[in-house]
Amino acid sequence: LPTPVDLQVRFDDGTTRQIRLGPSRDFQKVVLELPETKIRADVRLRTDTDTGAAGRLWIDAVQWQSDRAIPQWTLVRDAVLLLGLTFAAFALAGASLMVSLMGSLGLSIVFLIIGALDPFACLHLIRRGAYVASIGFAVVGVARILLPKLKSSFLILVFVTLLLKSFLVFHPSFYFTDYPIHETLLELVYHRGVVDFWLRLPDYQVTHNLGVAPAGGARQPYPYPVLFYLTAHMGNRLHHNPEVWLKATAALVSTLVLFPIGTIARRLLPDSRDDLVAGVVYLFTPALTRSLLFMEYSALTGHLFDLLVVAYLAHIAFNFDSWKKTSATALLIAASAVAYTSGFIHQG
């Protein structure tokens, strides 16, 4: 640490600890004691410097000390749930028993490798991965009902993409300076309600320096899309964990883009595997993951709706021969404008 850092420790029961760390070139040992009423707790760390900027924390090793052994049943449960849901999602997508088993086995090998290289990251990803796998299983199930003609390989790609995207943002080393702002907005929706958040959004923008620009000698808020936060709020309302729902919703929105991409590929290209190829190209194109890693959550949502417009136009081959097609196109464009202020045309 080249400069002094304030380490804020927040436990899942709301209690906090504040630790001052002096400058040092070597790793420093920090001892944390759990609240008296708890034998296990989720811990969140935040660092701040004297300049007000976020500090960077590198965890070299974690050691536990206890008077008695405490079996990590929750970790075992999450690991079983993650692998079981992976197997179930593959089977629901239409994969054979062997392919489903290979999917779960492959994920197990991945976590064994991660655990050998970084045990702390492995534990963290398993716990968060159980949440994401349940969401992915639901997405595959809904897609199987609403889009029965989709190939099993494409649905498997959707599930795997969701896991990969979520592992990027849930990795302990991932951090972006805008994260506290996004979490604050989601907490405002949770504690003050959707109506208050919607009506007082300009005030919240000025307070938290979100979507404001100098105009007329003062900083004025400009229209800011909030559909992403309202979507994440639905999950956060059921189970209050803003970090999980912010990142899981971002990974989900980034993954759902595969459906309009697949539609465009199937419409424009003759080969039956082109939708799968298009999805893989999307997955391995770094520039298309930029909005996720830079926490441009409203842009992610807007891009999804943009592509839905383009995919529908490709589906009808720009043939507006009925009022239903015209109305559907207008509604999709309106939804795109609400989701993100740039409009769908930049995706065209």
Confidence at 347, pLDDT banded by 50, 70, 90: very low
| Rounded distance between C-alpha atoms, residue 181 and residue 297, angstroms | 12
Does residue 219 sit in helix, strand or coil?
strand
Q: Give CA separation, 284 vs 170, 179, 281, 289, in Å.
A: 19, 24, 5, 9
Does residue 181 contact residue 210 with C-beta atoms inside 8 Å? yes
| Rounded distance between C-alpha atoms, residue 310 and residue 254, angstroms | 16
Q: What is the pLDDT of residues 193-210, one digit of tens each?
A: 888 888 888 888 777 777
Amino acid residing at 250: A
Q: Taking the mean position of all CA atoms in its chain, how far away is CA 12?
A: 20
| Rounded distance between C-alpha atoms, residue 28 and residue 300, angstroms | 39
Which pLDDT score, from 0 to 100, does residue 69 have? 45
Q: What is the pLDDT of residues 2-23, one digit of tens each?
A: 677 777 777 766 777 788 877 7
Could you tell me the two tokens for 213? 């620009």
Q: What is the pLDDT of residues 176-190, one digit of tens each?
A: 777 878 888 888 888
Which pLDDT score, from 0 to 100, does residue 346 have? 47
Average pLDDT, the chain: 81
In the chain, % of residues over pLDDT 90: 22
Q: Give CA separation, 46 vs 52, 64, 175, 272, 329, in Å.
A: 12, 20, 11, 49, 45
Q: Taking the mean position of all CA atoms in its chain, how far away is CA 190?
A: 18
Which pLDDT score, from 0 to 100, does residue 180 have? 79
Q: What is the pLDDT of residues 295-317, one digit of tens each?
A: 778 878 888 888 888 888 888 87
Is 140's pLDDT higher than 90?
A: yes
